[in-house]
Amino acid sequence: MRILELRQSLRYANLERLIVNTAAYLRQAAIETTILVLYNRTRAHLLGEDSSTLPEPHPLLADAARQGVEAYQVCDNSMLSPQPLSAILRTLRSRHYDLIHTHDFKTDVLGLIAGRLMHVPVIATAHGYPRAIRRNEIYRRLDIVVLRLCRHVVCVSDSIREELCVAGLRPDRLSVVYNGITVAGIRARAEHAAHTLRDDLHLQPDDVIVMTVGRLSSEKGHRYLMQAMPDVLAANPRIRLVVVGDGLLRQNLTRQAAELGIAERVFFLGFRSDVPALMAQCDLLVNPSVGEALGNVILEAMALGKPVIGTTAGGMREVIEHGETGLIVPFADSHALADAIRQLAADPQRLRAMGERGRARVLSDFTVERMAEGLAEVFRRSIASP
């Protein structure tokens, strides 16, 4: 079986790494994968990114080559550029493909067009629709129309499946396959990098590092975490918040920290390629998102033995066992967030126990091997049934 994977991408982040890792494991199931990544550095500013920090070619290509996965990039210059569709069609004509597998609105559309023209069925993975960005609601409505035309849709959580069922998609064409991570790979990336965070930030040995990792955009809920911090610091002035990630809201969040009087205890690190090494040095990871399909960052933190705090948004409740591997609080609730951070930061023994249980849960249920097995089953069923 041969699959063509399509992904529009700006950074080599969790989803891109997941696509490559899964493709490598699928070879064991006699499934060969070609990845086509649509890369547009010229529009980076629309996402608050500095195009000068984006490498050429896309980093996915090097990692794919290292793992023996065939991958190419296509320059995606504009919304209406014919280049991506032409490249997809050329790739489909170059050899026989059994399925096209897409991962976002643009590749859902282009994959469906190319699939219809070349008589190749399309499977899409629904990774979620952040509601905090107004234009995403438009994309969500349009994408649901496109997904109805796909042969099958993979949902990364039960919450996504429920959302699509409510939107009118046929339940028999929806399957849940949880995201998985390469636990050994995450640990290796953490261990082989320099662990200098406390020295770099001039922190004391008894400072408690609370970390959040993610794009600085409204659906990630950073402003609620900022609002929680004055109460957290009133209870424990040794807590330090480390914010990893970049985006359109960086200036707003920096200003908010100053207005709340917490600027000296909040550190903005920007985009980092050494996230596992950074997470390995924190005491607690917080994901305050108001819209999260599943939360790969949570999985990575748990794999490193870190306790986590998430919200009721999306699929985080399917990953975090409340009171066992971390805590779940209502989304957009800064008071509940502050209470949860205060609770865990005050109990180092509980932090360690939660971290160990979280690591065991990831090894049991959220590995890339389990994800690849789930996808392989969906691929086979989809080819067998029209």
pLDDT at 181 over 80: yes
| Cα gap 293→177, rounded to integer Å | 12
pLDDT at 44 over 80: no
pLDDT at 303 over 70: yes
Q: Which two tokens stand for residue 145?
A: 């129309």
| Sign of the torsion angle spanned by Cα atoms 102, 105, 107, 108 | positive
Distance of CA 232 to CAs 2, 199, 282, 337, Å?
52, 23, 16, 9
| Cα gap 208→24, rounded to integer Å | 38
Angle 192-366-226 from CA coordinates, rounded to 5°? 70
Q: Show Cβ contacts of residue 105 under 8 Å, excluding neighbours closer than 6 positions.
A: 139, 142, 143, 146
How confident is the model at residue 161, as a pLDDT? 95
Q: Which two tokens stand for residue 246?
A: 């970049």
* Coil vs helix vs strand at 54: coil
pLDDT at 21 over 80: yes
Angle 246-5-129 from CA coordinates, rounded to 5°? 45
Which residue, 242, 231, 266, is CA-closest to 341? 231
- Compute the average pLDDT of residues 224-233: 98
How confident is the model at residue 349, as a pLDDT? 95
Across 40-65, b (16+ Cβ under 10 Å) vs e yields bbeebeeeebeeeebeeebbbbebbe
| More confidently predicted of 33 and 195 | 33
pLDDT tens figures, 81-137 = 788 999 999 999 999 999 999 999 999 999 999 999 999 999 999 998 765 455 667
Q: Which two tokens stand for residue 121?
A: 């069925």
How confident is the model at residue 59, as a pLDDT? 87
Phi, psi at residue 318, to the nearest 5°?
Answer: -85, -15
Residue 72 DSSP one-character state = E
| Cα gap 31→2, rounded to integer Å | 6
Which residue, 378, 381, 374, 320, is CA-closest to 22? 374
Task: Report pTM.
Answer: 0.86
> What band does 217 get if pLDDT is binned at 50, 70 and 90?
confident
| Residues counted in the chain | 386
Domains, the chain: 2-180+367-384 (3.40.50.2000), 184-365 (3.40.50.2000)
pLDDT at 56 over 80: no
Segment holding 131, helix H or strand E: none
Contact between 371 and 294 (Cβ < 8 Å): no
| Cα gap 121→193, rounded to integer Å | 42
Q: Which two tokens stand for residue 5?
A: 């994977």
Question: Which of these ranges, 147-151, 207-211, 288-292, has the smallest mean pLDDT?
Answer: 288-292
The helix-helix angle for 83-94 and 105-118 (nearest 10°) equals 50
Q: Where does residue 166 rank: exposed (0-12), middle (13-18), buried (19+ CB within 10 A)?
A: exposed
Strand partners, 210: 241, 284
Q: Show Cβ contacts of residue 173 under 8 Å, excluding neighbours closer than 6 positions.
A: 150, 151, 152, 153
| Cα gap 143→148, rounded to integer Å | 9
In this prediction, what percent of the chain has a pLDDT beyond 90? 76
Contact between 179 and 319 (Cβ < 8 Å): no
Segment holding 10, helix H or strand E: none
